[in-house]
Amino acid sequence: MSGIEAGRREAWRARYGEHAADLELAWNGVVAGLLAHRSVRAYRPDPLPPGTLETLVAAAQSAPSSSNLQTWSVVAVEDPQAKRRLSEVARGQRHVVEAPLVLVWLADLSRLASLGRAEDRPTEGLDYLETLIVGIVDAALAAQNATVALESLGLGSVYIGALRNDPEAVADILGLPPNVLAVFGHCVGHPDPEQPAAVKPRLAQGVVLHRGRYDPALARAAIAEYDAALRGFQAEQRMPGVGWIQAALERVRGPGSLSGRDRLHAALARRGFGLK
Amino acid sequence: MSGIEAGRREAWRARYGEHAADLELAWNGVVAGLLAHRSVRAYRPDPLPPGTLETLVAAAQSAPSSSNLQTWSVVAVEDPQAKRRLSEVARGQRHVVEAPLVLVWLADLSRLASLGRAEDRPTEGLDYLETLIVGIVDAALAAQNATVALESLGLGSVYIGALRNDPEAVADILGLPPNVLAVFGHCVGHPDPEQPAAVKPRLAQGVVLHRGRYDPALARAAIAEYDAALRGFQAEQRMPGVGWIQAALERVRGPGSLSGRDRLHAALARRGFGLK
């Protein structure tokens, strides 16, 4: 068995907890890098090498953008006090303070609103849920390209969806104008080699991949198997062994399990989004 | 000047229409690949190599997922009749028919709804706008990893946001259950070497990157410069030279310029999303 073949099998096993012996996967170094992704929550305090931020933003801007509208922006936060305030919104997640760089990815409809005012042109299209979705998708595509780039440079990161717990506090910390939503934060730094992160197993491909048409049958056996695999992973990582089913269902139980994000619609309306 | 340095300068020039001489960019082959992205709309008819789809889905599943909820799915469409129907939703975009593979990336809250019913647990948290956003972000991050993977394999792709023109027609074509939104389509294939795609210039970094706090001042000079650069690109590509400002403002002019997507909120409500 070649080294590449062994790497391919090991990457598959880490991601799916099963062997890939019968699969003809297309494979190369980029694919190997993507499959090796892990979320990093422990960082060395060292600053990032010069040019890193510019490279991450260039990678982000190279992602596709809906109709080339470029309805996103990013704030790069390095100030300890600002990071501390952001971590409070995120219920005290320490890595938001400890990472040398926190990027905050924004769905930004404000730029086109300003441009419309400057050119004396109507921009009522910004008042629709559709256009917020364009901004959110643009921001997510951009952020993921930055993640791929930073991992290729030996850095690590983790997204912080918890910034949506309180969009108004985040707007205050970062000086965001109306029509801008902080979609998520993004801690970036050198992974602490003393506290290495592991590849998290995912649902089997057959659960998320539908061929030709959507198969609405719930793949209960595959989900039960995944639940067991995740308990194994949690035991290895010395995390509470709650599995997937109970944790996921607890997370979507009701408004009280959304960490304040049940108020997102109201907060967006107050932040100027039309949401029609 | 080394070959790497020349490549770095050329990549920057193609993306921003200016020189990078004074920039200390972090650089490697992965970053070079990301910056070389272009949307491909002309494909050879050849099928994809065996294992390609499985590799793209493994890359997609390796992207971060909010709270590991994995609130996305993907339908792989190869049937010519289904592709034809999807292209009709997308106002006749030919590449939707011509690409050998069309992926449709789904925000999928239906899996957790089914799991809740099977486990007799409440899932009211799915009825909030927040949870739809989780699904949209999950789907976008996954899709972008697939794009990075396929480009590394010498393939090309383009996203088709126009599937949101009529979510109910797409649900009918693909058999989508309630609580599932087709966020966008994704044509995948071998780029036609006779009709090569070009790197599209983007807004200057200073327009989208904010350091420390958001700068609400509209960077009018940089936007005017970008408008001119895009007209140059459009002339080179023998496209109508409309620039950026007029095209972007026309796109968000009002409900009539949204290609039917002004009805997205109503369509989502009918498709079972609570949107609270």
Which residues have C-beta within 8 Å of that of residue B99, sequence separation ≥ 6? B43, B83, B157, B187, B188, B189
Between chains, do A276 and B261 touch, taking CB under 8 Å as contact? no
Query: Chain B contact for A251, CB < 8 A?
Result: yes
Residues of A in contact with B111 (CB under 8 A): 207, 218
- Whether A1 shows a pLDDT value over 60: the answer reads no
Average confidence (pLDDT) over A184-194 = 98
Of A65, A212, A223, the CB nearest to B82: A212
- Cross-chain residue pair B74–A209, CB shorter than 8 Å: yes
B27 shares contact with chain A (CB less than 8 Å):
yes
pLDDT computed for residue B1 by the predictor: 57
Percent over 90 (pLDDT), chain A: 89
Instruction: Dump pLDDT digits (tens) for A142-170.
Output: 999 999 999 999 999 999 999 999 999 99
Mean pLDDT of B30-59: 97
- pLDDT category at A109 given cuts 50, 70, 90 is very high
pLDDT at A267 over 60: yes
Q: Cα separation of B247 and B16, whole Å? A: 19
pLDDT above 80 (res A21): no
**Comparison of pLDDT for A51 and B22, the residue scoring more:** A51
What confidence tier does B20 reach under pLDDT thresholds 50, 70, 90? low
Q: How far apart are CA B39 and CA B216, in angstroms?
A: 30
Distance CA A218, CA A103 (A): 37
Please report residues of B whose CB lies closer than 8 A to that of A124.
252-255
User: How confident is the model over A217-244, as a mean pLDDT?
Assistant: 92
- The predicted model gives A157-184 an average pLDDT of 98
* Residues of A with Cβ-Cβ distance to B67 under 8 angstroms: 161, 247-248, 251
B177 reaches A (C-beta below 8 A) = yes
The pTM assigned to this predicted structure is 0.98
For the segment A174-191, the average pLDDT, to the nearest whole number, is 98
Check residue A7 and give its pLDDT: 86
Pick A74's closest partner by Cβ from B12, B29, B210.
B210
Note the pLDDT tens digit of each residue in A49-78: 999 999 999 999 999 999 999 999 999 999
Mean of the per-residue pLDDT values for chain A? 95
pLDDT for B19: 60
pLDDT surpassing 60 at residue B21: no
User: Where do runs of H (alpha helix) occur along chain A?
Assistant: 3-16, 29-35, 52-61, 80-89, 94-98, 110-119, 129-152, 167-174, 205-208, 220-236, 245-251, 264-270
- What count of Cα atoms within 13 Å lies in the side-chain half-sphere of residue B237? 18
pLDDT band at B135 (very low <50, low <70, confident <90, very high): very high
CATH number of A38-198: 3.40.109.10
Q: Residue B245 pLDDT > 90, yes or no?
A: yes
| pLDDT score, position B2 | 72
Cβ neighbours around A270 below 10 Å, total: 13
User: What dihedral do alpha carbons A58, A63, A64, A70 form, nearest 10°?
Assistant: -40
**Residues from chain A contacting residue B218 (CB–CB below 8 Å):** 111, 114-115, 118
Mean pLDDT (chain B, rounded): 95
Do residue B115 and residue A218 have CB atoms under 8 angstroms apart?
yes
pLDDT of residue B213: 97
Tell whether the model's pLDDT for residue B24 goes beyond 90: no
Instruction: Give the three-class secondary structure for B86.
Output: helix
Q: Give residue B102's pLDDT.
A: 98
- Provide the pLDDT for residue A22: 61
The tokens for B164 are: 């949101």
Residue B6: the pLDDT is: 84
The closest of A102, A55, A96, A54 to A78, measured between CA atoms, is A102
Helix ranges (H only) for B62-128 are: 80-89, 94-98, 110-119
Q: How many CA atoms lie within 13 A of B95 on its CB side?
A: 22
Question: Residue B29 pLDDT more than 70?
Answer: yes
C-alpha A180/C-alpha B139 separation (Å) is: 21
Contacts of B39 in chain A (CB under 8 A): 64
| pLDDT greater than 90 at residue A191 | yes
Please give the average per-residue pLDDT across B34-38, as a whole number. Answer: 97
Cα distance from N-terminal residue to C-terminal residue, chain B: 57
Query: In chain A, which residue's Cα lies nearest the Cα of B144?
Result: A141
CB contact (8 A) between residue A57 and residue B216: no
Of A59, A119, A200, the CB nearest to B35: A59
Chain B residue closest in CA terms to A122: B253
Question: Is A18 a residue whose pLDDT tops 80?
Answer: no
Burial zone of A80 (CB within 10 Å; 0-12 exposed, 13-18 middle, 19+ buried): exposed
SS3 B74: strand
- Domain residue ranges of chain B, discontinuous segments joined by +: 1-36, 38-198, 200-276
Nearest chain B residue to A162 by CA: give it: B66
pLDDT of A17 reads 82
Give pLDDT tens digits for B203-230: 999 999 999 999 989 889 999 999 999 9
DSSP state, B101?
Answer: E
Mean pLDDT calculated for residue range B64-91: 98
CB contact under 8 A, A158 and B64: yes
Which of B230, B77, B181, B61 is CA-nearest to residue A65? B230
Q: What is the pLDDT of residue A40?
A: 98
pLDDT of residue B22: 62
Residue B98: pLDDT band (50, 70, 90) is: very high
Averaged pLDDT, A196-220: 94
Q: Taking 80 as the threshold, does the pLDDT of residue B97 lie above it?
A: yes
Hey, are the CB atoms on A249 and B207 less than 8 Å from each other? Answer: no
Distance CA B265, CA B260 (A): 11
ipTM: 0.98
Q: Which are the contacts of A59, defined by CB distance < 8 A and separation ≥ 6?
A: A145, A146, A148, A149, B31, B34, B35
Quickly state the pLDDT bin for A243 (edges 50, 70, 90). very high
Find residues 98-157 of chain B whose CB sits inside 8 Å of chain A: 106, 108, 110-112, 114-116, 118-119, 121-126, 128-131, 133-134, 136-137, 140-141, 143-145, 147-149, 152-153
Distance CA B158, CA B37 (A): 10
Q: Give contacts of A62 with chain B, Cβ < 8 Å.
A: 15, 34-37, 199, 202
**Has residue B80 got a pLDDT over 60?**
yes
Sign of CA dihedral A231, A232, A233, A239: positive
Cα B99 from Cα B77, distance rounded (Å): 10
In angstroms, rounded to a whole number, what is the distance separating the alpha carbons of residues A30 and B12?
21
Residue B61 corresponds to which tokens in the numbers above? 């599943």
> Residue B164: closest CA among chain A residues belongs to which residue?
A130
